[in-house]
Amino acid sequence: MSYQPGQIRDGIEEALSRVGSEGATSTEIVAYLSEVFGQPVPASSVRSYLQLNTPGKYERLERGRYRLVGTGPYDVEVPGEVRLRGKLVLRHGRARLYQGNSLDWLANQPENSIHGVVTDPPYGLVEYKPEQLKKLRAGRGGTWRIPPSFDGHKRAPLPRFTTLTRDELDELELFFQDFGERLMPVLVPGAHVLVAANPLVSHLVSYALDRAGYERRGEIVRLVTTMRGGDRPKNAHEEFPDVSVMPRSNWEPWLLFRKPTEGTVAQNLRKWGTGGLRRISDEQPFGDVIRSAPTHAKERAIANHPSLKPQAFLRQVVRAILPLGEGTVLDPFAGSGSTLAAAEAVGYRSVGVELDAKYAELARRSISELAQVVVSRRVPGGVEVDPVGSELLETVSV
């Protein structure tokens, strides 16, 4: 007898949901399904389905046992938190870090479980592929530009977005549309999504998220002078001393989107706690321009990641993303865990997902230390400690 499409799949999931964290062998699953269906079930069909969906839906244990992802002892329920699924690397305070592919991870999460997103994704995708990360870690560049040391300081690598081909740009756009579509059901209505970008590719990310169904709510401008741009023509700097190939970068765009609300913003706030941005104070709303220094050397000593953003900046945007200060913030491209550290510093629940095993390990070690970084603000006559970096726009790590 033939089986209907999805019948064996659903039976496997039902079987594994019954046994929980102990899991079951393919032989045990076949026996269970044969009893339920009242006829023999092909063992090859069960084994093929399990193997094709591991990792992803299923986790393979020792002795050939399988269990549903999220039923293992590494992912326990905590009162007041939505149960999420995946390989948990770290639970620190109110932060959770998972290691895996964020697109696959999102596909396995419960609906309406995340209240805001702050993330610094792989802008061009290419630079974070294994072969490029290998070159980066070996100091040989590839798509990464390794700037020379300046004034005795070793500067952070920069991805070369100008080298991206048309096909790679198209791939980037499709990636972010796929990301947005998978993220959408996991977000509560009215959740804001803040995505770091680059002036050369931000339009593609914006188009993709718009097509995925998000409402564009503007940009947060991070005012920061980096080493990007301003160079004279390569191998012709003496011939054209008064020419810059590109303007020197003095800002960084962070794209702001929102999942559509249910009714008015006020109605959405009452039901979901989302729909707006948290004000800095009674007198001062959250603004779209934030002055920022490059990441402080002390923070880089804690988490040496090429895209590390300063806690002084991250704590401001993370604080703003939950209008009532309640809910869970997600960083699906967690890197060194700096967003989770910022959330921990301001007292928010947070979840991060990181694909690269070495960066996941870096984040596991770094989140606690980054969360304890002291942030100060400049005031007349000196500096004043500001634990969350949210009172004034000009901040500095000390």
Quote the pLDDT of residue 156.
Answer: 52
With CA atoms as reference, report the closest residue to 255 among 315, 322, 210, 190. 210
Q: Enter the tokens of residue 25.
A: 């062998």
Rounded Cα gap, residues 226 and 196, in angstroms = 15
- Of the candidate ranges 6-10, 58-62, 326-330, the one whose mean pLDDT is the lowest: 58-62
Residue-number span of the structural domain to which 117 is assigned: 88-221+258-397
Task: Examine the fold and report which residue of 38, 68, 98 is the final residue of a domain before the chain moves on.
Answer: 68
Is 239 inside a domain boundary?
no
Quote the pLDDT of residue 52.
Answer: 75
| Domain co-membership, 172 together with 110 | yes
Quote the pLDDT of residue 206.
Answer: 95
Is 73 inside a domain boundary?
no
Q: Enter the tokens of residue 380.
A: 């007349």
Is 2 inside a domain boundary?
no
Rounded Cα gap, residues 397 and 382, in angstroms = 14
Look at 77 and 38; give whichever has higher pLDDT. Answer: 38
| Per-residue pLDDT tens digits for 97-155 | 998 889 989 988 889 999 999 999 986 555 445 554 454 445 555 554 444 443 444 54
Distances from the Cα of 13 to the Cα of 83, 105, 232, angstroms: 18, 17, 60
Rounded Cα gap, residues 18 and 326, in angstroms = 34
Mean pLDDT of the chain: 81
Rounded Cα gap, residues 175 and 183, in angstroms = 12
| Domain co-membership, 58 together with 106 | no
Look at 5 and 195; give whichever has higher pLDDT. Answer: 195
Tell me, what CATH number does 174's domain have? 3.40.50.150
Confidence of residue 234 (pLDDT cuts 50, 70, 90): confident
Rounded Cα gap, residues 73 and 87, in angstroms = 10
Distances from the Cα of 193 to the Cα of 115, 254, 306, 338, 357, angstroms: 9, 10, 22, 17, 25
Quote the pLDDT of residue 380.
Answer: 59
How many residues appear in the chain?
398
Quote the pLDDT of residue 272.
Answer: 97
- Percent of the chain exceeding pLDDT 90 equals 44
Q: Of 212-216, 228-232, 247-251, which has the strongest mean pLDDT?
A: 212-216
Is 103 inside a domain boundary?
yes
| Domain co-membership, 175 together with 279 | yes
Decide if pLDDT at 296 tops 70.
yes
Quote the pLDDT of residue 114.
Answer: 96
Per-residue three-class SS string for the chain:
CCCCCCHHHHHHHHHHHHHHHHCEEHHHHHHHHHHHHCCCCCHHHHHHHHHHCCCCCEEECHHHEEEECCCCCCCCCCCCCCCCCCCEEEEECCEEEEECCHHHHHHCCCCCCEEEEEECCCCCCHHHCHHHHHHHHHCCCCCEECCCCECCECCCCEECHHHCCHHHHHHHHHHHHHHHHHHHHHEEEEEEEEEECCCCCHHHHHHHHHHCCCEEEEEEEEECCCCCCCCCCCCCCCCCCCCCCCCCCCEEEEEEEECCCCCCHHHHHHHHCCCCCCCCCCCCCCCCEEECCCCCHHHHHHCCCCCCCCHHHHHHHHHHHCCCCCCEEEECCCCCCHHHHHHHHHCCEEEEEECCHHHHHHHHHHHHHHHCCCEEEEECCEEEECCCCCCCCCEEEC
| Domain co-membership, 133 together with 26 | no
Quote the pLDDT of residue 164.
Answer: 73
Quote the pLDDT of residue 146.
Answer: 42
Quote the pLDDT of residue 79.
Answer: 54
Number of compact structural domains in the chain: 2
| Domain co-membership, 127 together with 262 | yes
> Who contacts 343 (Cβ-Cβ below 8 Å, separation ≥6)?
94, 95, 318, 329, 349, 350
Quote the pLDDT of residue 153.
Answer: 44
Rounded Cα gap, residues 286 and 269, in angstroms = 17
| Domain co-membership, 111 together with 160 | yes
Confidence of residue 169 (pLDDT cuts 50, 70, 90): confident
Look at 321 and 123; give whichever has higher pLDDT. Answer: 321
- Neighbour count for residue 110 (Cβ, 10 Å): 13
| Domain co-membership, 116 together with 48 | no
Is 122 inside a domain boundary?
yes
Which residues are bridge partners to 216 per DSSP?
Answer: 257
Q: Of 44-53, 170-179, 205-214, which has the strongest mean pLDDT?
A: 205-214
With CA atoms as reference, report the closest residue to 123 among 160, 95, 68. 160
Decide if pLDDT at 193 tops 50.
yes
Tell me, what CATH number does 49's domain have? 1.10.10
| Domain co-membership, 47 together with 163 | no
Confidence of residue 384 (pLDDT cuts 50, 70, 90): low
| Domain co-membership, 280 together with 343 | yes
| Domain co-membership, 47 together with 159 | no
Rounded Cα gap, residues 194 and 256, in angstroms = 5
Q: Give the predicted TM-score (pTM) of the model.
A: 0.71
Decide if pLDDT at 302 tops 90.
yes
Q: Are strands 289-291 and 215-223 parallel, antiparallel or unpaired?
A: parallel
| Per-residue pLDDT tens digits for 25-71 | 888 888 888 888 788 888 888 888 887 776 667 777 766 788 777 55
Rounded Cα gap, residues 268 and 275, in angstroms = 6
Is 246 inside a domain boundary?
no
Is 153 inside a domain boundary?
yes
Tell me whether the omega of the peptide bond preceding residue 110 falls within 30 degrees of 0, making it cis.
no
Confidence of residue 381 (pLDDT cuts 50, 70, 90): low
**Contact between residue 311 and residue 389 where contact means Cβ atoms under 8 Å apart:** yes
| Per-residue pLDDT tens digits for 251-294 | 999 999 999 999 999 999 999 999 999 999 999 999 999 999 98
| Domain co-membership, 269 together with 148 | yes
Quote the pLDDT of residue 33.
Answer: 85
| Domain co-membership, 53 together with 114 | no
Is 133 inside a domain boundary?
yes
| Mean pLDDT score, 75-85 | 58
Quote the pLDDT of residue 65.
Answer: 80
- Of the candidate ranges 48-57, 229-238, 302-311, the one whose mean pLDDT is the lowest: 48-57
Task: Examine the fold and report which residue of 22, 37, 68 is the final residue of a domain before the chain moves on.
Answer: 68
